[in-house]
């Protein structure tokens, strides 16, 4: 059976060359006679994998020397709790921006650890826009300002980096990390789950500025403490070794494909093509303000919702998988992360045009 085009929001499609490389090395990694998943995380073989992983991510994202790069577990959800426990630094308040489902989850979790100030809220727009920065209420005495760079469910993405003085900026980049250039030095913390642009589920990348490490709540669980994890090279507990290896293969694929600049160009071309197809259609529409449309997750609805099930059925029969929108918003959603080839987006556009011709 030939491979399909998988538009899942996560776990998402992986580069075929990465899967083939993992298959090639599955039983015997570089002549060691064992699989990576069998290796001791303290052995020299796995330590070399870990060192390359960190080095490649640092190179790709141009991470400054005054940042620690951690490879943890628990996903972004785990970081919703870890962040306030690590960087409140004796303060009682933190600022959060609510632009969708993942922002809301972060806000709820943070509320267990501090007083949350919702500095801006896109709820009134049904999360189809981002409030203008001039309208944000950011308390300069708060410990940090948190926002979600790309809302996977609602298809809203920041197009630039907010700036509010010296308050540390914290961003969840789970669904758009590695997809475009970003100035790491503008942030106190960037964190991201791996299952969208970096590899399979099971690894959480945390990039944290040095001055924000070492002041954790004294009741924090050790596995959530950035200082302890940094001291132990992210191996305070046994890491998800095979997942680290797979993330490393994806990073090498990004490098071999031209790096972040190439990914940014690739993603813009795919997104532009799909948005243009939706825009010129009378059957499909995208609800998001054009100024903040995501290049990673593109939701769209059919003018006649009774056609949804037929659309999904025929899409599946044509090798286009996982296009159903999140249950909270309905409709359709095409997630077109780095590993989605241009051919996949073209196939989707062609199918949408044919479906509209026969059902519109």
Residues annotated as catalytic are 102, 172, 196
**Residue recorded with tokens 């059919």:** 302
Report which secondary-structure segment, H or E, holds 302. Answer: strand 297-302
CB 132, CB 117: distance < 8 Å:
no
Which strands sit side by side in the sheet containing 284-285, from one edge to the other? 284-285, 297-302, 332-335
Q: How far is 310 from 28, CA to CA, in rounded Å?
A: 45
Task: State how far the alpha carbon of 5 is from the alpha carbons of 8, 68, 204, 332, in Å.
Answer: 9, 36, 25, 15
Q: Which of 178, 239, 207 is closest to 15 using CA atoms?
A: 178
Q: How far is 130 from 213, CA to CA, in rounded Å?
A: 30
Q: How far is 56 from 227, CA to CA, in rounded Å?
A: 22
N-term to C-term CA, the chain: 31
Torsion of CA 186, 187, 191, 196, to 10 degrees: -20
């Amino acid at each position: 059976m030939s491979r399909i085009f998988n538009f899942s929001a996560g776990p998402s499609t992986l580069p075929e060359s990465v899967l083939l490389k993992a298959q090639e090395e599955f039983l015997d990694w570089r002549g060691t006679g064992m699989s990576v998943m069998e290796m001791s995380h303290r052995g020299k073989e796995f330590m070399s994998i870990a060192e390359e992983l960190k080095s490649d991510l640092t190179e790709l994202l141009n991470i400054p020397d005054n940042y620690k790069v951690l490879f943890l577990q628990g996903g972004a959800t785990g970081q919703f709790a870890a962040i306030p426990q690590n960087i409140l630094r004796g303060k009682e308040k933190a600022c959060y921006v609510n632009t969708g489902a993942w922002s809301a989850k972060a806000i709820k979790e943070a509320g267990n650890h501090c007083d949350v100030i919702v500095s801006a809220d896109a709820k009134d727009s049904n999360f189809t826009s981002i409030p203008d920065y001039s309208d944000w209420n950011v308390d300069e005495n708060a410990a940090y300002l948190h926002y979600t760079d790309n809302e996977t469910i609602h298809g809203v993405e920041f197009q630039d980096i907010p700036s509010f003085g010296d308050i540390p900026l914290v961003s969840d980049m789970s669904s758009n990390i590695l997809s475009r250039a970003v100035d790491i030095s503008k942030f106190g913390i960037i964190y991201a789950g791996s299952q969208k642009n970096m590899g399979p589920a099971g690894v959480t990348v945390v990039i944290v500025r040095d001055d924000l490490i070492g002041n954790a709540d004294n009741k924090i669980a050790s596995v959530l403490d950035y200082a302890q994890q940094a001291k132990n090279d992210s191996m305070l507990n046994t890491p998800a070794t095979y997942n680290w290896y797979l993330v490393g293969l994806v990073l090498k694929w990004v490098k071999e494909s031209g790096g972040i600049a190439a990914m940014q160009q690739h993603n813009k071309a795919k997104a532009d093509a799909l948005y243009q197809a939706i825009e010129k259609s009378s059957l499909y529409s995208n609800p998001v303000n054009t100024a903040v449309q995501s290049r990673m997750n593109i939701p769209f609805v059919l003018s006649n919702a009774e056609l949804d099930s037929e659309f999904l059925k025929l899409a599946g029969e044509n090798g286009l998988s996982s296009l159903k929108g999140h249950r909270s918003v309905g409709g359709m959603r095409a997630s077109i992360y780095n590993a989605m080839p241009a051919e996949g987006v073209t196939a989707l556009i062609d199918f949408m045009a044919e479906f509209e011709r026969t059902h519109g």
